[in-house]
Structure 1
Amino acid sequence: MRLGVLDVGSNTVHLLVVDAHSGARPLPAYSHKAELRLAELLDGEGAINSDGIDRLAATVAEALQVAEDQGVEDLLPFATSAVREAANAEHVLVRVAEETGVKLEVLTGEDEARLTFLASRRWFGWSVGRLLLLDIGGGSLEIAFGQDEEPDAAVSLPLGAGRLTSGWLPGDPPDTEALRSLRRHVRAEIARVVGEFTRFNPPDHAVGTSKTFKQLARIAGAARSSEGPYVERRLSRAGLEEWVPRLAAMTVEERTELPGVSEGRARQLLAGAMVAEAAMDLFRVDEVEICPWALREGVILRRLDHLRGS
């Protein structure tokens, strides 16, 4: 069957269309993205402003038309931290439903971590043993650990690359004091949850998912995306430690010239790198392998599991 996953994130609204069957891996058929940056369309009280709501409804309507054009039989629409944490989240959901007919499911941060963990486990399989997942989105950082398909521990922290950039790094390039303040904040937030994971045995394999980790791996020398998803890509903590000060010294325009860095993501790449470096350091991870699958694939896999069970 042809499934569509509509992901309303902090940076983009992404429709992923896949051909999926129970017991088989989902095959990507079509991808449609719109850069919305909901996390930046807030008023002074933390509510998504009227322009943001109008643009979101229009973007969802457009994605719905694309899904219909692509022959999607089952659409799985969900929203993450930008909508979840908005002061007017309920109003936003009602408006989108009234104007488009799409009822967005708001995932909790723990849901995000668990579903992304499921996707990573299915991608790498049982042979990698105990798995530590790190996922940096626009609004939050997800961390999960376990040796099964359901993690033993899963948390979500408000340390997304877009959120931190808009709230902590206004300069271009940012000044030294702003960088120090952000570094202290990021490390303090992550350090609060490290104990939830270190009570288990150390991970056998650590993975990083989503766009931030992919772009950081690319600028550190990993294969380009055009070489396909089955090429092994890794990112070392040592490499990150070299790149963080280099990114901090660059303007946004200069970062867009780096390999694999899109214009829309260049501004928040530094904050993402600081979160990745802090997480790898505090969890004593020397290297992560980049996983091509993340939250959207986790949602699809969970849906297929439910279909198989019924």
Structure 2
Amino acid sequence: MISSVSRPDRGSSFSKITEIVNPNQQESAVTIAALDLGSNSFHLVVARAVSEMSFDVLLKEKMMIRLGDAVSKLGYIDEFHIKLVIDSIRSFRTLAESLGAGELVALATSAFRDAENSSEVVDLIEDETGVSVSVISGSKEAELIFKAISTSVSFHDEVVMCADLGGGSLELMIGTQSELLWAHSFNLGVGRLTAKFLQRQDELSAKDIQKMRRFIHETLLPYQDVASSFSPAALVGSSGSLLNLGRIAVSYLRPNIDPKLLEDLNQVSVKRSALKLTGRKIIKSNAQERLAIPGLDPKRVDIIQAAVLVLDELMQMFGFKAITLSEWALREGIILSELEGYESLSEGIDSIRHASVMGVTKRFAWNSFHAEQVAKLALALFDQTVSLHGMSETERELLFYGALLHDIGEHIAMEDHDRHSAYLIENSLLRGFTPQEKWVLVCLGRFHRRGNPKPDFAPFDRLDADWQSMVVKLAGILRLADALDRSHEAVVNSIRVAIEKDHITIYLDADGDFELESFGLRRKRSLFEQTFGTRVTLGLD
């Protein structure tokens, strides 16, 4: 059953939504559908909440509508596109309902803002589909996008600029991990620019390029000083066009890359030099030639040139040498905004990476008592053996998360659970981690129990020599920590490590019998001993 209702006040600015009532839905499951009615395409995400900062995506669907093209030419939404919009939303609503979504939040952006008849179309959509659409301002759009990006990508304690390049507009946002400091919406969407400057031409002339670049520059220029005053240290980009440029550049740099690695580019950084190389190729080619470019989305073949010029001008004006990519954008921001109202989901976790890891552990019937004990012991071992391993806080944090995740494979089976852990980690969405960091976590899951890390394990082979060395060191430490809770009873309260020339002694403060821990250490100490050239024994404080 579907009915329009007034929303309870949960800190949201939206006055009404559509509630989807599913009698078979479990009361404890918070499932929300977000519908982003963009200028290029419509996107649906249906997600089940894990916490305020984490959710499982149940479904993603996209339809290329190109509504912005019609509005740019006509100034309004014509009958053909009205029917297309209504049919699409009706299909999306059916999908959301089938997955038990308790809420469907539909937001419209630039094309609806520009259309003379948007109010009439919004009313017609609700009459025909039962879905209530809110047309949001550019500033609200930027706020929601920033919420998504800052929950998906680690800013590493810096002020960053975020750019979301859609079909109708470019949203620029500047902020820290926890606060949006400045935002502005520009009419520099790729569909809008293509309609304005290409005018049915198959390829750009030098004059076209000059005119479009000048227009982009002059549009951004009045805001250059105020944006620069925040001294953003890095650029983060989201949405289809920027992700596609990143995918093209990565494909160019690594022509033999496993296509699976291109499916999720979250937290991947691409240098401007690589973007310029592929960008020149895109700009100089006709549509047929562009279709042959590895990584290019065929549905973006006619708008990708505008994306090249917007990104290049933006990076040039603000001096950015690379862009980090975010897979999350407006639709995920909608989900996160809605989840903020559910007190039952709040856990006080303010780290993207921590929230993401905890979301994965909950998904797979996690033994929190053992995992947290192993994490505590692993950090104690790390801190007291710095003179041996020489690693930094970065590696320490990865060890912590690897310890929390190491046994999630038991969700599948106890036997070979190390392999199952690696599989689950590799195939889970871990936000805030670079691909290399995620591969480290996969390797820690795989090698926390037995075996030596080696190139026949694909995630290990993807890492360069320095990262591989890190994995070996961290795996050695994790094995010791895991051994010191072999009973899964947390009998070890604390440890003290005494380091001698070719020998270390781990002194235990333990409650009761720790024979299982002693046995476990004898079985699992060899990797640490081989790696650091030292013997390991136990003592009792």
Residue of structure 2 in register with 1:69 after alignment: 98
Residues in 2 aligned to 1:124 and 1:284: alpha-carbon distance in whole angstroms: 21
Q: 1:12 aligns with which of 41, 48, 56?
A: 41
CA contact (8 A) 2:154 2:267 kept: no
Q: Which runs of 5+ in 2 are unaligned?
A: 1-29, 252-256, 347-541
CA contact (8 A) 2:45 2:332 kept: no
Instruction: Give per-residue Cα distances to partners, 1:172-212, cap 9 Å, x unaligned.
Output: 11222112111100111111211221222x22332111111
- Distance 1:66-1:225 versus aligned 2 partners, 3 A rule: farther
Residues in 2 aligned to 1:80 and 1:224: alpha-carbon distance in whole angstroms: 35
Matched, 1:34 2:63: yes
Matched, 1:302 2:348: no
CA contact (8 A) 1:172 1:252 kept: yes
What is the TM-score with the length of structure 2 in the denominator? 0.54
Equivalent residue letter for 2:221: A
SS in 1 for 2:33: strand
Residues in 1 aligned to 2:169 and 2:339: alpha-carbon distance in whole angstroms: 26
Matched, 1:116 2:113: no
Residues in 1 aligned to 2:72 and 2:305: alpha-carbon distance in whole angstroms: 25
Residues in 2 aligned to 1:46 and 1:122: alpha-carbon distance in whole angstroms: 36
Residue of structure 2 in register with 1:247 after alignment: 282
Residues in 2 aligned to 1:161 and 1:43: alpha-carbon distance in whole angstroms: 12
CA contact (8 A) 1:139 1:163 kept: yes
Equivalent residue letter for 1:289: T
Equivalent residue letter for 1:226: K
Q: Which runs of 5+ in 1 are unaligned?
A: none
- Distance 1:65-1:184 versus aligned 2 partners, 3 A rule: same
Residue of structure 2 in register with 1:163 after alignment: 192
CA contact (8 A) 1:47 1:88 kept: yes
What is the TM-score with the length of structure 1 in the denominator? 0.93
What percent identity do the matched residue pairs reach?
Answer: 29
Residue of structure 2 in register with 1:186 after alignment: 216
Residue of structure 1 in register with 2:78 after alignment: 49
Residue of structure 2 in register with 1:282 after alignment: 317
Matched, 1:238 2:273: yes
Equivalent residue letter for 2:39: S
SS in 2 for 1:296: helix
- Distance 1:225-1:117 versus aligned 2 partners, 3 A rule: farther
SS in 2 for 1:48: coil
CA contact (8 A) 2:237 2:323 kept: yes
Moved more, 35-44 or 135-144: 35-44
- Distance 1:109-1:195 versus aligned 2 partners, 3 A rule: same
CA contact (8 A) 1:22 1:305 kept: no
Equivalent residue letter for 2:260: S
Higher RCO, 1 or 2 (CA under 8 Å, sep at least 6)? 1
- Distance 1:126-1:138 versus aligned 2 partners, 3 A rule: closer
CA contact (8 A) 1:121 1:131 kept: no
CA RMSD, 1 decimal: 2.1
CA contact (8 A) 1:237 1:281 kept: no
SS in 1 for 2:173: strand
Quote the offset at 1:118 in angstroms: 1.4
Q: 4+ residue runs of structure 1 moved beyond 6 angstroms?
A: none
Moved more, 45-54 or 126-135: 126-135
Equivalent residue letter for 1:84: R
Residues in 1 aligned to 2:59 and 2:276: alpha-carbon distance in whole angstroms: 36
SS in 1 for 2:149: helix
- Between the two proteins, the alignment pairs up a number of residues equal to 309
Matched, 1:258 2:293: yes
Quote the offset at 1:154 in angstroms: 0.3
- Distance 1:42-1:139 versus aligned 2 partners, 3 A rule: closer
- Distance 1:230-1:41 versus aligned 2 partners, 3 A rule: closer
Q: Map 1:117-136 onto structure 2 (within 5 A).
A: 117-125=146-154, 127-136=156-165
Residue of structure 1 in register with 2:174 after alignment: 145
Residue of structure 1 in register with 2:382 after alignment: none
Matched, 1:91 2:125: no
Residues in 1 aligned to 2:72 and 2:191: alpha-carbon distance in whole angstroms: 16
CA contact (8 A) 1:16 1:30 kept: yes
Q: 2:206 aligns with which of 164, 172, 176?
A: 176
